Amino acid sequence: MTATDVETKGPAAKSRGATPLQRAQHILHEHSWVSPLVLLVLSIVVFTILNPAFAQPRAISLLLQQTAVIAALAVGQTLIIITGGIDLSVGAAAILACMSSALLAANGVLPAPAAILVGVLIGAICGLLNGLLVSRVKLPPFIVTLGTLSVFTAITLMLTGGSTVQGDEMPSWMTAAGERVPLFGLDLNVGIIVVALIYVAVGYALGFTAWGRRVFAVGDAPEAARLAGISVSRVLVSVYLVAGVIYGIAAWVLIGRAGAASPNGVVDANLASITAVVIGGTSLFGGRGGVVGTVLGALIVQSFAIGLTLVGLDDEYRVLAVGILVIAAVAADQWIRKVRS
Partner 1 sequence: MTDTLQKRPVLSARGLRKTFGKVVGLRGVDLDVYPGEVLAIIGDNGAGKSTLIQCLTGALVPDEGTLELDGKQVSFKRPQDAKDVGIETVYQSLAMSPALDIASNMFLGREIRRPGPLGSVLRLLDTKSMRQKSMEAVQQLGIRTIQNPGQRVETLSGGQRQAIAVARAAAFGSKLVVLDEPTAALGVRESGLVIDAIKALRDRGLPVILISHNMPHVWEIADRIHIQRLGGSAGVITPSSHDMTEGVAIMTGAKTL
In the complex, minimum distance from the CB of residue 32 to partner 1, in angstroms, rounded to a whole number: 10
How do strand 186-189 and strand 260-261 relate by DSSP bridges?
A: unpaired
Distance of closest approach, residue 188 Cβ to partner 1, in angstroms: 27
Nearer to partner 1, 117 or 221 (CB): 221
Q: Return the number of the residue (183 or 228) whose C-beta is nearest partner 1.
A: 228
Shortest Cβ 218–partner 1 spacing (Å): 9
Output the smallest distance, CB 78 to partner 1, in A: 15
**Distance in Å, CB of 142 to partner 1, minimum:** 22
Contact between residue 243 and residue 269 where contact means Cβ atoms under 8 Å apart: no
State the minimum distance, in angstroms, from the CB of residue 85 to partner 1: 16
DSSP letters of 1-37? --HHHHHTS-HHHHHHTS-HHHHHHHHHHH-TTHHHH
Whichever of 109 and 228 has its CB closer to partner 1, that residue is 228
* Stated length of the chain: 341
Give me the amino acid identity at 138.
K
Binding stretches for partner 1 (CB under 8 A): 2, 4-5, 7-12, 14, 30, 204-205, 208-211, 213-214, 216-217, 220-221, 223-225, 227-230, 287-288, 339-340
What DSSP string runs through 145-191?
A: HHHHHHHHHHHHHHHHTT--EEGGGS-GGGGGGG-EEEETTEEEEHH
DSSP 8-state code for residue 338:
G
Q: Which is nearer to partner 1, 159 or 213 (CB)?
A: 213
When the beta carbons of 9 and 136 are compared against partner 1, the nearer one is 9
Residue partners of 160: CB distance under 8 A and separation at least 6: 99, 103, 263
For 171, residues 6+ apart whose C-beta sits below 8 A from its C-beta are 105, 111, 112
The smaller minimum CB distance to partner 1, of residues 2 and 264, is found at: 2
- Beta-carbon contacts of residue 206 (< 8 Å; ≥ 6 apart): 79, 82, 212, 215, 216, 290, 291
- 108 vs 207, beta carbon nearer partner 1: 207
Q: How far is the CB of 18 from partner 1 (least distance, A)?
A: 12
Determine the Cα–Cα distance for residues 22 and 19; give it in Å rounded to an integer.
Answer: 5
Residue 67 contacts by C-beta under 8 Å, 6 or more apart in sequence?
298, 299, 301, 302
